[in-house]
Structure 1
Amino acid sequence: MSRDSQIARIHRQPKSAMQSGRAGAGDWLLEFAPGEPKRLDPLTGWPGSGDTNGQVRLRFATAEAAIAYAEAQGWRYEVAKPPVVRADIKPKAYADNFKFGRGENWSH
């Protein structure tokens, strides 16, 4: 399958679940959906496919830049709305557990 027949998905990169920081979460990604299902290799048993478009992952600073690149290449695309991020979350530090004059009881 060629890239012309596949739809590129443009979306905002989510925050990593492995870190509390938001580094790299503001980037916009352009990715292709799989063009064919994965199949098991009879010799090794590893999954794989002949579609290399699934390996393409391009980063852009803005959604407009990603859209302009997709249009310049002649690719069909869809843009996903960015997720709603709560701004009222107060950052905490481990050292706050041992702070003098702490108002809460020690819980553990």
Structure 2
Amino acid sequence: MATTARIYKPARGATSSGQARTKRWVLEFEPASPRQIEPLMGWTTSTDTRAQVRLTFETKEEAIAYAEREGLAYRVQEPMEPKRRIVSYSDNFKHNRAQPWTH
């Protein structure tokens, strides 16, 4: 059974303003078997050991080359760009604002 690998660039955490851990590309394997609940302790378990593997690469091309060299089926998920405009706090007090600043 061929396992598919997913190559993607992780997004930053919702509570983080930094860009750490978002510059590298990640190769992760998609689950080959469903998770099950272990009856004694109630923990989630899986027989798929590849789910624990997470490889990082500097570029998308390196990750693709690795997957092709190892004969892995893969899919690339392109990163989504943020849809917001980054402005600084000092922009609120510019003298040439489009709308006057009021309290």
**Please, which runs of 5 or more residues in structure 2 have no aligned partner?**
91-100
Are residue 6 (structure 1) and residue 6 (structure 2) matched?
Answer: no
Match of 1:67 among 64, 67, 77: 64
Question: How far 1:39 sits from its partner (Å)?
Answer: 0.8
Question: How far 1:104 sits from its partner (Å)?
Answer: 4.8
Which stretches of structure 1, 4 residues or more, deviate above 6 A after TM superposition? none
Name the counterpart of 1:42.
39
Supply the RMSD in Å over aligned alpha carbons: 2.0
Question: How far 1:87 sits from its partner (Å)?
Answer: 6.7
Are residue 20 (structure 1) and residue 2 (structure 2) matched?
Answer: no
Tell me which amino acid in the other structure corresponds to 1:30. Answer: L
Q: 1:62 to 1:91 in 2, by over 3 A?
A: farther
Name the counterpart of 2:50.
53
Q: Distance in 1 between the 2:38 and 2:80 partners?
A: 37
Q: Distance in 2 between the 1:80 and 1:28 partners?
A: 10
Secondary structure at the residue paired with 1:54?
helix
Query: Does the Cα contact within 8 Å between 1:16 and 1:22 map onto a contact in 2?
Result: no
- Give the TM-score normalised by structure 2: 0.80
Fraction of identical pairs, as percent:
42
**Please, which runs of 5 or more residues in structure 1 have no aligned partner?**
97-102
Equivalences, count: 94
